[in-house]
A = this chain, B = another copy of it.
């Protein structure tokens, strides 16, 4: 597959993006419904391509969790189609005027949402991302180039072909979405240099992928990095509420980025709080590691090493540290958090407000589980991923975050006076 022309693909996407920018919401929604129908109509073709990918992954002895994420089933395809129809039902973000004000010289100045242009998405195994990302980009009038993982190559190519044909069936360019048909890493590196043709690169995956993209890209990047989330139980907190929140944040779905990895507990409540919680967590199969004070208060806690405070377990493992103050908790989070989501459980209004203001993360919670960090749960209707950086988007990204705002100015012949 060497010799694949990524520049030509990006040029076609750029041309398509100019058509998409002018497409009506009605046409885009028709495309999204055609995309959903296409997935269902071609169910067998997609599942057959996926079965080949899965067979190769099994032969390469990937871990079973990996093979599971790669595997498509009829219900998973149904969910992908349903997702596309849900995106069709959301309001069109493009052309929205988010504010307009009048200047002393009677100029009307405002801001209008417009598409970014061409978005490149570089992601790892799960093939549902192909449909989700294609749908969100189309709704926001962006052309998209999708470069999925090597292991899902056949699946993604099948899905991409079907979705592109569906887009073409309503009169929009088929090149509005394209799947890179080769696993060649040199093609990704070349893609990252096409700064005149691609406007944004979104890498979703492990640390190595994100570092490679950040360091090699001449195009702006919004990274979807790891989640090392904390819950801090404050002095005077409702300890029943704190236990339920901590348990939920750790146990409900430990393999995702918004699950808790470290629990911080104020010394004033630790002795009452920790024994019961640790027992409940161990009952659920959680391996608990802790600082010396934690270990002295609850049985069955392994010693936590310095490395534990920086580890995203993504598993039924939790590290616990007893702190002497609110400030110590905030400092621990500043040093070890990844900026995805952080929570405090407290009954004190002042400290709740300080936590909201002082903790630097995409989502900061008072008295709720970090597991809610999700575009759907936040009421955004869709999610492209969760940005862990600060530029452009921080936290869950929805349709609005796939647009930018330009200034629009309505005049009646105003000209500018010379200045001193």
Contact = CB atoms under 8 A, between A and B. Distances in A.
Contacts of A356: 112, 408
A214 interface: yes
A357 to B, nearest CB: 6
A51 interface: no
A271 interface: no
Contact of A95 (B107, B357, B391): B357
Contacts of A416: 248, 252, 369, 371-372, 377
B392 A391 contact: yes
B218 A220 contact: no
A152 interface: no
A367 B413 contact: yes
A413 B357 CA distance: 20
A46 interface: no
A378 B415 CA distance: 14
Contacts of A22: 357-358
A297 interface: no
Interface string A206-244: 000000001100101110000000000000001001001
Contact of A360 (B21, B195, B405): B21
B103 A409 contact: no
A368 B107 contact: yes
B107 A407 contact: no
A200 interface: yes
16 contacts: A21-B358, A107-B368, A199-B391, A200-B391, A245-B415, A252-B415, A253-B419, A362-B407, A363-B406, A364-B408, A367-B410, A368-B410, A369-B411, A378-B409, A395-B406, A395-B407
B379 A404 contact: no
Contacts of A117: 360, 390
Interface string A385-397: 0000111101110
A345 to B, nearest CB: 8
B221 A367 contact: no
Nearest to A405: B394
B248 A368 contact: no
Given A244-B415, A361-B406, A377-B103, A215 B215 contact: no
A88 B417 CA distance: 26
Nearest to A345: B413
A228 to B, nearest CB: 15
Contact of A394 (B371, B406, B410): B406
Contacts of A200: 390-391
A391 B366 contact: no
A283 interface: no
Interface in A175-228: 195, 199-200, 214-215, 218, 220-222
A378 B413 contact: no
A79 to B, nearest CB: 9
Given A220-B220, A253-B418, A372-B414, 5 more contacts: A107-B368, A252-B415, A368-B411, A369-B416, A391-B404
A360 B391 contact: no
A109 interface: yes
Contacts of A199: 390-391
A404 B411 contact: no
A26 B168 CA distance: 58
